[in-house]
Amino acid sequence: MSAEPLVVQDVSKVFTSRRRGPDGRRLKVHAVDGVSFEIAPGAAVGLVGASGSGKSTVAGMVTAALRPTSGSVRFGDVDVTALRGDALRRYHGDVQMVFQDPYGALNPLHTVRYTLSRPLENLLGLDARQADDRVRELLDTVGLTPPEQFAPKLPHQLSGGQRQRVVIARALACEPGLIVADEPVSMLDVSLRAGVLRLLARLRQERGLSLLYITHDLLSARVVTDEILVLSEGKVVERGVTKDVLQNPSHPYTERLLDAVPNPYAGAET
């Protein structure tokens, strides 16, 4: 799969809550309100905002897990909001998610080899031998070397950072054009974060895949993205080249996100 342009145009998402307001009607939550952006093939865009700003809802609409209330999402020629059946399954191979929690993303009873070879056999139709070779390559690519040491391991025998590398390897197994990484390092030990982010940055460069990197941590966006959008209460309040926005934030909300913590990623920027 080669990367295609992702075009998100004026998407909004209104959730109807179970709770009722004083007038007895169900409350509506405007989670995302008129968001537009594009990711060119091979580009990396960051979506940054505080908790509850609508980031995961945007991710859900991009990955076709959620249907926008209005607006459109296109990936190349594909109208993502209208996908069904086989076309939806194909799209779920082209666009892969990496979530915050690598512990929850992996089946505790499956070895690394099994986790990675399943999509290769089921989706790409490789035989066991071919899948085994490919598992070795994938482990090598994500820095779990030597591969034969990691392939037989179970998730609990790995560190959080190693588990997230397995999740990234699984995402790569289907040769996606776009990876959507929703807070991929937030649950990892601070000392492991830069390594996993540098891995995402390198994969993007080497494989020419596109990346939507979602975070509440503005500084981490510097490691992986060229461009960022700052989201507040479902709306884009600032956007631009990552370096420029970080150096010279024009919105007070962006300044607040950039609080005075020391930069744990110093030296990791690409």
Residues engaged in binding ligand ADP (CB under 6 A):
15, 17, 29, 31, 49, 51-57
> From the CB of 27, what's the least distance to ligand ADP, in Å?
9
> From the CB of 180, what's the least distance to ligand ADP, in Å?
12
> Quick check: 56 binds Mg ion (CB under 5 A)?
yes
Q: Choosing among Mg ion, ligand ADP, none, which partner's interface includes residue 29 (Cβ < 5 to 8 Å by kind)?
A: ligand ADP
Largest CA-CA distance found in the chain, in angstroms, rounded:
64
In the sheet that 26-39 helps form, which strands lie side by side, from edge to edge? 26-39, 6-20, 70-75, 78-79
User: In this structure, what DSSP letter does residue 261 have?
Assistant: -
Tally of CB atoms within 10 A around 79: 11
Strand, helix or coil at 171?
A: helix
Distance (Å, whole) CA 50 – CA 242: 17
C-alpha 102: how far from its chain's center?
Answer: 13
Stretch that binds Mg ion, among 55-63, 104-112, 194-202, 262-270 (CB under 5 A): 55-63
Output 12 or 117, the one with its CB closest to ligand ADP.
12
Output 48 or 203, the one with its CB closest to Mg ion.
48
Distance (Å, whole) CA 185 – CA 103: 12
Distance (Å, whole) CA 109 – CA 101: 17
CA dihedral 109, 112, 118, 123 (to 10 degrees): 140
> From the CB of 128, what's the least distance to Mg ion, in Å?
38
Distance (Å, whole) CA 95 – CA 64: 9
Q: Choosing among ligand ADP, Mg ion, none, which partner's interface includes residue 53 (Cβ < 5 to 8 Å by kind)?
A: ligand ADP
- The token duo for 246 is 């970080």
Stretch that binds Mg ion, among 52-60, 66-74, 110-118, 240-248 (CB under 5 A): 52-60
Output 53 or 162, the one with its CB closest to ligand ADP.
53
Residue 253 near residue 85 (C-beta atoms within 8 A): no
Output 17 or 205, the one with its CB closest to ligand ADP.
17
Q: Choosing among Mg ion, ligand ADP, none, which partner's interface includes residue 162 (Cβ < 5 to 8 Å by kind)?
A: none
> From the CB of 162, what's the least distance to ligand ADP, in Å?
25
Output 31 or 83, the one with its CB closest to ligand ADP.
31
Q: Choosing among Mg ion, ligand ADP, none, which partner's interface includes residue 96 (Cβ < 5 to 8 Å by kind)?
A: none
Strands (DSSP E) along 40-84, which ranges? Answer: 44-48, 70-75, 78-79
Q: Choosing among Mg ion, ligand ADP, none, which partner's interface includes residue 68 (Cβ < 5 to 8 Å by kind)?
A: none
Output 17 or 263, the one with its CB closest to ligand ADP.
17
Q: Which residues bind Mg ion (CB under 5 A)?
A: 55-56
